[in-house]
């Protein structure tokens, strides 16, 4: 929505619609101190439920809706049996967590039982929030999500945040995916939709919510770690990952055993070492700290922890390389997760010692952790299943061990003895990364109210960070350099995005052409978009690469054919008189040429087109990654590319 004010708009003019599990309105993260009157353009409602009153809304939380099993919003005079679904109130904690990440108010002296202490604030703490409880105890129905998006559009939100996604195994194509359809309608009304990319990584082709009009977010770690020290009887120590409120200390050790050495009768060794349900002998385990491996990822670590706990063990040391970056909240049960090298040394100590012992010390937080950000192992990877001619995910944001508001009695682990629920907890997932981008987009919109959704998206993408806090290129969870199918264009850098210099504007026409190129019929496209759009005469899949997107992807560059030419148009949003010079960063063998190499803007000329030519004759087979950067001495405008050479 265009802002007619002559003065810069307040960030509180920006309204974020959260489609999730509801909200816990009493959390201090949603207080409205210092926020002015609700914008007059707001058309939403604050629905009452059996445990939610109109007074639960305020100048911060300005709207709340919930839905029944046949996807209608409840009328307030309807009488029915009260159940958790009959209210905008959060039943799970997920919606409260994501909402406070996006736009939580500033709250001092927050911690999770003295871990991660400090001031909590959302990405855009003065933005308004409206809640659409589309998820119930039965899950998140597609038709309900579509209705919630429709309501958010009519209510007048500026940005929609959806930390929900279908499993990558059960994805639907664009015109059969409720989130994609609803998001297209939102985009037509200049409303940005930000979605989580899924937690099915690290396998390729697992990214979800990957339509080009959706801002798709991957998850990274942050520069804070949570470590639990494992202290062996021989004095050696190992740093493990955990959120554990163990009451153990250095003064007492406990017997230590490897899972395969305490197996139940007739149990395969491989199952016992992985701590399968039913695989351990309770009599052998009782009173010991048990070491389990993570060779079989079919058994989640939460289950392994329960298996060991039920067998009356004193604690669990889990050996797992990938998951150590993402701390498990084990509550008061002593727990530590160590990498393979540490695990081998611990097992070697067990095998070479008559009476091995150990203890697991309570977790402490480690600030200024390096390297960060890195890609979370669970973060879903590209390329997209339905087209590889759009680069997905788009961008990466913090999604590992994020402290934010929750339902007080729904904190993840058991509360340490003598402590009360804090109302804040630490969670991980692309669900947490998504609202970081939502908050960043709201922050930018508050400064540039007249910018379209694609301008804001482009600003965040072309200014993203591609280096970690050690100054090296971003890494993935396997400690290799990350590629754009893992990080998108890089990690969000909201302050830099306020002044991007140039932006790539992607229009509704671009997206309609995308649907034509993908292969949908004109009739279906018109029906979904409610337009009389005509498809271009030539509509083939490879032309998708040419829509004016802030990154480039080519699914099939034939090394035996001439160069493939990609066209892009940039809009100058910086100084009216500016000259940009292009720089190419490409892998050896892939020839990339930019024409023209220099683009000049003068007063009255704000849009300029350029071409990027890709020659694959000498390139390595498979995906080649790189970038074109436009630089004017002040702004660096990054255009990342992924090119599959065959």
Q: Identify the burial level of 204 via C-beta atoms within 10 angstroms of its C-beta, where 0-12 means exposed, 13-18 middle and 19 or more buried.
A: middle
- What is the token pair recorded at 296? 């079989």
SS3 411: coil
Residue in 94, 158, 151 with CA at minimum distance from that of residue 127: 158
Q: How far apart are CA 168 and CA 309, in angstroms?
A: 32
- What is the token pair recorded at 235? 């004095």
Helices (H) and strands (E) in the chain, counts: 13, 32
Give the relative orientation of helices 178-188 and 508-518 as an angle to the nearest 10 degrees: 150
SS3 454: helix
Residue 124: HSE in the Cβ half-sphere, 13 Å Cα cutoff = 29
Q: How far apart are CA 617 and CA 104, in angstroms?
A: 52
Q: What are phi and psi of 57, to 5 degrees?
A: -85, 160
CB 403 within 8 A of CB 510: no
CB 550 within 8 A of CB 462: yes
Residue in 496, 504, 238 with CA at minimum distance from that of residue 360: 238
Lookup result for tokens 């491996």: 293
Lookup result for tokens 């995916």: 177
Q: What is the DSSP letter of 9?
A: P
Task: Transcribe 102-151 into DSSP letters.
Answer: HHPPPEEEEEETTEEEEEE--SSTTSEEEEEE-EETTEE-HHHHHHHHHH
- Rounded to the nearest 5 degrees, what angle is found at the Cα of 200, between the Cα atoms of 468 and 489? 35
Distance, C-alpha 343 to centroid of its chain: 30
Q: What percent of the chain is helix, strand and coil (3-state, nearest 5)?
A: 25, 30, 45
The separation between the first and the last C-alpha atoms of the chain, rounded to the nearest angstrom, is 44
Spell out the alpha helix ranges (H) of 163-266: 178-188
Question: Which residues lie closer than 8 Å to 352 by C-beta, 6 or more apart?
Answer: none
Spell out the alpha helix ranges (H) of 352-480: 430-447, 453-462
Catalytic residues: 20, 94, 431
Q: How far from 378 is each of 24, 340, 428, 468, 642, CA to CA, in Å? A: 27, 18, 9, 19, 21
Q: How far apart are CA 481 and CA 461, in angstroms?
A: 19
Residue in 434, 578, 454, 474 with CA at minimum distance from that of residue 122: 434
CB 304 within 8 A of CB 275: yes
Q: Residue 427 forms beta bridges with which residues?
A: 402
């Amino acid at each position: 929505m265009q802002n007619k004010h002559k003065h810069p708009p307040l960030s509180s003019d920006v309204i974020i619609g959260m489609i999730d599990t509801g909200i816990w309105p009493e959390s201090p993260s949603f207080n409205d101190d210092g926020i002015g009157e609700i914008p007059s353009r707001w058309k939403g409602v604050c629905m009452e439920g059996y445990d939610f009153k109109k007074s639960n809304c305020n100048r911060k939380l300005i709207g709340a809706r919930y839905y029944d099993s046949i996807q209608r919003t409840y009328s307030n005079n309807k009488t029915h049996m009260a159940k958790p679904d009959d209210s905008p109130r959060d039943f799970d904690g997920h919606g409260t967590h994501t909402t406070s990440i996006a736009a939580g108010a500033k709250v001092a002296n927050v911690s999770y039982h003295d871990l991660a202490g400090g001031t909590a604030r959302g990405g855009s703490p003065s933005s308004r929030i409206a809640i659409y409880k589309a998820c119930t105890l039965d899950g998140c129905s597609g038709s309900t999500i579509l209705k919630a998006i429709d309501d958010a559009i009519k209510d007048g939100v500026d940005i929609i945040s959806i930390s929900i996604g279908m499993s990558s195994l059960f994805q639907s194509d664009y015109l059969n995916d409720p989130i994609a359809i609803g998001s297209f309608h939102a985009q037509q009304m200049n409303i940005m939709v930000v979605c989580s990319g899924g937690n099915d990584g690290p396998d390729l082709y697992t990214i979800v919510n990957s339509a080009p009009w959706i801002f798709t977010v991957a998850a990274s770690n942050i520069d804070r770690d949570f470590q639990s020290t494992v202290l062996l009887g021989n004095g050696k120590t190992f740093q493990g990952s955990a959120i554990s409120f163990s009451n153990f200390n250095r003064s007492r050790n406990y017997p230590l055993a490897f899972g395969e050495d305490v197996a139940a009768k007739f149990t395969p060794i491989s199952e016992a070492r992985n701590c399968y349900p039913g695989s351990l002998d309770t009599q052998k385990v009782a009173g010991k700290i048990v070491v389990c491996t993570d060779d079989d990822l079919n058994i989640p670590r939460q289950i392994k922890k329960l298996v060991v706990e039920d067998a009356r063990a004193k604690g669990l040391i889990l050996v797992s390389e990938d998951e150590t970056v993402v701390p498990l909240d084990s509550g008061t049960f002593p727990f530590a997760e160590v990498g393979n090298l540490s695990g081998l040394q611990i097992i070697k100590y067990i095998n070479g010692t008559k009476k091995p012992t150990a203890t697991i010390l309570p977790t402490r937080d480690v600030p200024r952790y390096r390297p960060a950000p890195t890609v979370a192992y669970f973060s879903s990877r590209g390329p997209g299943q339905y087209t590889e001619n759009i680069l997905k995910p788009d961008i990466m944001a913090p999604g590992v061990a994020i402290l934010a508001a929750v339902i007080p009695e729904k904190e993840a682990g058991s509360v340490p003895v003598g402590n009360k629920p804090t109302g804040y907890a630490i969670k991980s997932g692309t669900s947490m990364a998504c609202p970081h981008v939502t908050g960043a987009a709201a922050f930018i919109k508050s400064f540039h109210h007249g910018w379209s959704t694609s301008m804001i998206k482009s600003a965040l993408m072309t200014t993203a960070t591609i280096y970690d806090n050690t100054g090296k290129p971003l890494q993935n969870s396997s400690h290799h350099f990350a590629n754009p199918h893992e990080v998108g264009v890089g990690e969000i850098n909201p302050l830099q995005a306020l002044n991007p210099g140039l932006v790539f504007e992607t229009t509704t026409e671009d997206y309609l052409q995308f649907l034509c190129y993908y292969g949908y019929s004109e009739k279906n496209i018109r029906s979904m978009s409610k337009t009389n759009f005509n498809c271009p005469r030539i509509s083939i899949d490879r032309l998708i690469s040419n829509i004016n997107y802030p990154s480039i992807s080519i699914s099939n560059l034939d090394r035996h054919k001439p160069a493939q030419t990609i066209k892009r148009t940039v809009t100058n949003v910086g100084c009216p008189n500016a000259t940009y010079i292009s720089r190419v960063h490409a892998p050896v063998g892939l020839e990339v040429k930019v024409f023209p190499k220099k683009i000049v803007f003068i007063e009255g000329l704000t849009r300029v087109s350029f071409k990027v030519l890709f020659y694959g004759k000498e390139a390595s087979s498979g995906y080649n990654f790189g970038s074109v950067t436009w630089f004017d001495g002040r702004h660096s405008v990054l255009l990342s590319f992924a090119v599959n050479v065959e």
